Amino acid sequence: MVSSESTGAVAVVTGGSRGIGRAIVERMHADGARVVTCGRGARPAYLPDDVRWVRADVALPAEATRLVAEARDAFGPVTVLVNNAGVLVARTVAESTDDDWDLQVGVNCRGVFNSCRAVLPDMTEHGGVIVNIGSISGVVADLSSALYNASKAFVHALTRSIAIDHGPQVRCNAVLPGWIETEMFDEGFALARDPGAAVRDALARHPAGRFGEPADIANIVAWLASDQAAWATGQCFTVDGGLTAASPLRPESF
């Protein structure tokens, strides 16, 4: 099994322009992987010169195929795929439009599927690791985020299917972040009637005493991509500062 700690690793990270994706790109690069990342916009200024940027929308099958082909042409067969690209549509089922469906399912579901399908032929031959970024929202639903919640549950189920269908050549796991301080974090809390009170209440529910940082997720992704996690596959790893570990009963009630 390949290791991200070796310069032999070729890693594709989708959605690498900001937030968790940026942290994963920086960590994989620091570990010695040859990294290709992508997004729908221009090349981010933070990227080192030796990280390849591909302007691509992985929701489109041909774009995902091109992304993997460009990585292969530049560095060789892809040995690590991190599916990080995702969007949030904050609406209930009744409020959601067909366009909301196309965007949310297109990026969060079809984008992950397309990228996995594109790398599996090479990984089946040469070996490889897939890490999908899911969410605790695919296990415990957030308010007014029906399509997002459902899309992340899809990612978790797809992860298990890939592991059982394509092992032992391919290991596939998912990481389920909780509240991570990114742009999406700000967008989510902005929906509250009192964003400040919502942030304080959410923070009080974290046994770790803080919200997550993008590097917290990048650290476990790097571990799952490495040989140190060689016996981990088909699993969903929750990394949420303990948020979902607690009963809904509050300590002050007793």
Burial class (CB in 10 A: 0-12, 13-18, 19+), 165: exposed
Q: 179-203 as b/e, with b when 16 or more CB fall inside 10 Å? A: bbebebbeebbeeeeeeeeebeebe
Residue type, 164: I
Give the bridge partners for 180, in sequence order. 212
Q: Considering 53, 148, 179, 223, which one is annotated as catalytic?
A: 148
46 belongs to the catalytic site: no
| Secondary structure element (H or E) that encloses residue 80, with its range | strand 80-83
| Secondary structure element (H or E) that encloses residue 199, with its range | helix 195-204
In angstroms, the CA 117 to CA 115 distance is 5
Residue type, 148: Y
Give the active site residues: 148
